Amino acid sequence: MIRSIQHIIFSPIIFILIIPVMVYSQTYPGKHRFELRDLGVPFVNSIPPDESAVTSLITGPDGNIYGGTTGPACHIFYFSISTNRVEPLGKIPGQQSIHHSMVVGGDGNIYFGTGLDETKQYPISDPIPGHGGIVISLWNDVENRYKDYEGGHLYRYDPAQNSKIRFDIDKPAAVEDLGIPVAGDGVYTITTSPDGMKIYGLTYPHGHFFIYDVKEKKYSDKGEIYKKKVYGGPNRSLRSISRSLISDTEGDIYGSADDQQIFVYRVESDMLEVLNIKIPHIYIAVIEVLIPGHNGWIYGGTSEGFLFRFEPENQTIVNLGKPLDQMRIRALTAGLDGKIYGIAGERKDICRFFCYDPDVAGYSDMGVINVDRTPYYMWMGKQFDSMTTGIDGTIYIGESERKSHLFIFYP
């Protein structure tokens, strides 16, 4: 009788203690594992809401992950692979956005460009009467936003400072201001030469192509690439200018031009050229993102949601179709496993994570990005604009919401 009473009393207690362990283990249901990190320590030095949309991510020369944000003010930060947490590096005074504009220079420093926040849909004025009046009205709206803007800056950050400074979120970042590449325009996207000693960029809204020589510390403005003022959407107030640039193995630089064509800056001849090849499209499209793949190929995603492969050697584009029935490829990165990982989706919907396997020429829809560590924390990401692959193959994904996080994916 005594043994029976003890069993009745203690067995429920044992059952209750086991439940949390069972629930926690179920948060790793399969091979796709996600984690997330706050952008700093909450209530101490985390990047504030509205200023935390992660719109640039790169893997640094020290193996740490560096990022830049967009909002009423922009910040830089890094994810420390040794401490497994995000460390804010400070605010960039007077600047709003670091949009696809962060690279590693050949000198081991981090370079990034700034501009105005063009991630949101601005109100569109009533069309001017007459043929083409809506296009004129849209351009007037754009120019009115930039009429008092001095221009975006290029900055340099030395990763050696990471261990020397304790960062206060309200203090300016310890960066070197390298000046304004093109007066009145923001820095929209940048990339580097293969050796990292030249930085190439595009500006918004006028679409100037510029070069910064890291060694000589000099700018060169090659002028406007775009002759047409078109707005392909899905953000109708945003001019259709290439939102990414990339260098091939020979050092030539590529992006999208008018009429869905590809432009190239030929390093040897110091000339800009529009090629007679087009990115996949239905109506009006621009390149959203370009990344280096394997075999010297380049992978790109468009504003209409197509993935494509560009082969610089023979100057051809292969349309790889649409991973999802939505507009916009928001971010891409090449995994160490040979696969291409990406994010697709519009602002009005929830982004989805996908994988393209070149070996089978097929897609895997990997669903929404959700982290559930109940009862400790949980978060489902909806909007994303940046990705990078770490030195060990871990993939880092930048959320771009009002309150954003750094998501971590283990393939």
What are the average pLDDT values for consecutive 10-residue runs of the chain, which has 411 residues? Answer: 37 35 31 86 91 98 97 96 94 96 98 96 85 87 95 97 73 95 98 98 98 97 96 89 97 98 98 97 96 93 97 96 94 96 93 95 92 90 97 97 96 91
Phi, psi of 60 (to 5 degrees): -75, 170
Let me know if residue 40 belongs to a domain: no
Q: Which residues contact 56 (CB under 8 A, 6 or more apart)?
A: 67, 68, 98, 99, 100, 101, 102, 112, 386, 398
Question: What does DSSP assign to residue 168?
Answer: P
Let me know if residue 147 belongs to a domain: yes
- Neighbour-count burial of 259, counting CB atoms closer than 10 A to its CB (0-12 exposed, 13-18 middle, 19+ buried): middle
Residue 20 to residues 79, 195, 374, Cα–Cα distance (Å) = 29, 51, 9
Task: Count other Cβ atoms within 10 Å, centred on residue 142.
Answer: 19
Phi, psi of 273 (to 5 degrees): -140, 140
Let me know if residue 7 belongs to a domain: no
Let me know if residue 29 belongs to a domain: no
CA distance 61 to 159: 8
pLDDT of residue 65: 98
pLDDT in tens, 384-402: 999 999 999 999 999 999 9
pTM for the model:
0.90
Q: How many residues are listed for the chain in this entry?
A: 411
- Give the chain's count of helices (H) and strands (E): 2, 30
pLDDT in tens, 273-320: 999 999 999 999 999 999 999 888 999 999 999 999 999 999 999 999
Using the CB atoms, write b or e for 278-307: b if 16+ within 10 Å: bbbbeebbbbbbbbbbeeebbbbbbbbbbb
Alpha helix positions (H), 73-207: 133-146
Let me know if residue 26 belongs to a domain: no
Let me know if residue 22 belongs to a domain: no
Let me know if residue 315 belongs to a domain: yes
pLDDT in tens, 58-80: 999 999 999 999 999 999 999 99
Residue 285 to residues 15, 118, 238, 295, Cα–Cα distance (Å) = 58, 17, 12, 26
pLDDT of residue 3: 39
Q: Which one-letter amino acid corresponds to residue 309?
A: R
Total domains, the chain: 1
- Please report which helix (H) or strand (E) contains residue 12, including its range: helix 2-25
CA distance 334 to 342: 9
Full residue range of the structural domain in which residue 322 is found? 49-410
| CATH code, 137 | 2.130.10.10
Let me know if residue 44 belongs to a domain: no
